[in-house]
Amino acid sequence: MTRNDLDVLIAGGGFAGLTLAIALRQGLGSAFSVALADPTLGTSRAQDAPPHDERASAIVAAARRLFETIGIWEKAAAEAQPILDMVVTDSKLGDALRPTFLTFAGDVEPGEPFAHMVENKLLLDALVAKAHEVGVDLRAAAVKDFSRDPTIRANLSDGTAITARLLVAADGARSSIRSAAGIATHGWSYGQSAIVINVAHARDHHGRAEEHFLPAGPFAILPLKGRRSSIVWTETAVAAERIMALPDAAFHAELEQRFKLNLGDIKVIGARRCHPLGFFVARSFVADRIALVGDAAHVIHPIAGQGLNMGLKDVAALAEVIVDAARLGLDPGAADTLERYQRWRRFDTMAMGLATDGLNRLFSNRSDVLRFARDVGLGLVDRLPGLKRLFIREAAGLVGDVPKLLRGETL
């Protein structure tokens, strides 16, 4: 039976919202009522409703452990491409040779790759299917507005009125819940955009990811299943706009100049997409009976492919905090419960956000002095196996106070 007086209402059915709903349902069972509202659930993503998101994401080892634990990895595994090694270069656009400064072998534990590349749609479909299977109450509607007197009273766009002890904003970077709760953000735009495309190529990539640092920003080649790769190509916003508008042949020439011919002939498959890049962190991850997760709480530069992985860390921490509180009979929306979540996640997020910001500033420029300094630094890291191992475990999400789900433990 559908209930409109809930323990938790989640706004947003992207990666963050769906994962949280499943984890809460699995951790607390049907006695704890959770509903998730998202207007796009009605458009049946499973039937490939346009516009089809052809983006793929690097899912790091900790996030993969979470997906395994909630039971959705099995479906994705056959199509997931492990990243078996990674090469980092630093050169100018016209350079004939791209000297390699850093290489990573891909395992965090023997036989456990540090990350997999997976198409977003595949994972989202698996999450929706699992949410149905475990009985999450999915509503194809937006959370329109809400008040707090003293619990949450929310109105959905389909006219339903809902009360809840906690409202979770998983409604993405332009979160209307965050704004309505009066939570400001601090951050900045990079004046850069990422052109995202998939390409088919004649030769095997052998699971190798490549990050080419060019003066306009990183050009990443990330291996997909088969002879295909996902490209995340950073340019200044002005240059990206010009390149996006090019006819196919001219676009191809620009692409080939950066991709080179190591993998043989290349062909763009699917549509070109362009994302303006910025960095922000919410000034608070919580407010009275509200918690922010995922892009609603933070957006970072995709230079290290960590945005979604950070959102999943929020979800794992919030799910653990709520489950612990509910098992003790405590209120999941109480201030001290939410404060525990905020303490767990906000500092870590700021540290990762600033690290990716620093990386982008260090690499996206034309200074020869900086280029020399960073190349010496990269060369040093490459020669110190202990440091390299620490870097790779950090990037895989396995360092620090890691929530249970990301360690592969059930709640």
Give contact residues for ligand FAD (rule: CB under 6 A).
Answer: 11-17, 37-40, 57-58, 142-143, 170-172, 176, 194, 196, 232, 275, 294-295, 302, 305-309, 311
Smallest gap from Cβ 194 to ligand FAD, in A, equals 4
Cβ closest to ligand FAD, residue 22 vs residue 196? 196
| Residue 64, SS3 per DSSP | helix
Looking at the Cβ atoms of 294 and 403, the one nearer to ligand FAD is: 294
Distance CA 274, CA 281 (A): 22
DSSP string, 107-136: EEETTEESEEEEEHHHHHHHHHHHHHHTT-
Q: Rounded to the nearest whole angstrom, what is the least distance from the CB of residue 157 to ligand FAD in the complex? A: 8
Number of alpha helices (DSSP H) and beta strands (DSSP E) in the chain: 12, 21
Shorter beta-carbon distance to ligand FAD: residue 160 or 176: 176
The least distance separating ligand FAD from the CB of residue 372, rounded to whole angstroms, comes to 29
CB of 299 to ligand FAD, least distance (A): 7
Q: For residues 163 and 143, what is the distance between their CA atoms, to the nearest angstrom?
A: 12
To ligand FAD, the closest distance from the beta carbon of 263 in angstroms equals 20
CA angle 402, 347, 358 (to 5 degrees): 105
Of 181, 139, 219, nearest in space to 296 by CA: 181
Q: Residue 57 CB, nearest distance to ligand FAD (Å)? A: 4
**Rounded to the nearest whole angstrom, what is the least distance from the CB of residue 124 to ligand FAD in the complex?**
8
Point out which residues pair with 129 in neighbouring strands.
none
**Phi, psi torsion values for 270, nearest 5 degrees:** 80, -165
- The H or E element containing residue 397 is none
H/E element, 271: strand 266-282
Q: Residue 373: CB partners within 8 Å, gap ≥ 6? A: none
Nearer to ligand FAD, 302 or 332 (CB): 302
Cβ atoms of 179 and 240 closer than 8 Å: no
Our CB check for ligand FAD shows the closer of 217 and 333 to be 217
CB of 238 to ligand FAD, least distance (A): 18
Phi first, then psi, for residue 101 (nearest 5°) are -105, -25
* Matching residue, tokens 């409109």: 4
- Closer residue to ligand FAD, CB minimum distance, 196 or 371: 196
Rank residues 156 and 266 by Cβ distance to ligand FAD and give the closer one. Answer: 156
Quote the tokens at residue 348.
């870590």
Measured CA to CA, the distance from residue 228 to residue 223 in angstroms comes to: 6
Beta strand pairing call for 161-169 and 5-11? parallel
Residue owning tokens 């910001």: 357
Reported as half-sphere exposure (CB side, CA atoms, 13 A), residue 89 has a value of: 18
> What percent of the chain is helix, strand and coil (3-state, nearest 5)?
40, 30, 30
Nearer to ligand FAD, 222 or 338 (CB): 222
Minimum Å gap between C-beta 369 and ligand FAD is: 29
Q: Which is nearer to ligand FAD, 180 or 334 (CB)?
A: 180
What DSSP letter does each residue of 172-192 carry, written as one string? -TT-HHHHHTT--EEEEEEEE
Quick one: 179 or 257, whose CB is closer to ligand FAD? Answer: 179
Longest dimension (CA), the chain: 66
Shortest distance (Å) from residue 41 CB to ligand FAD: 8
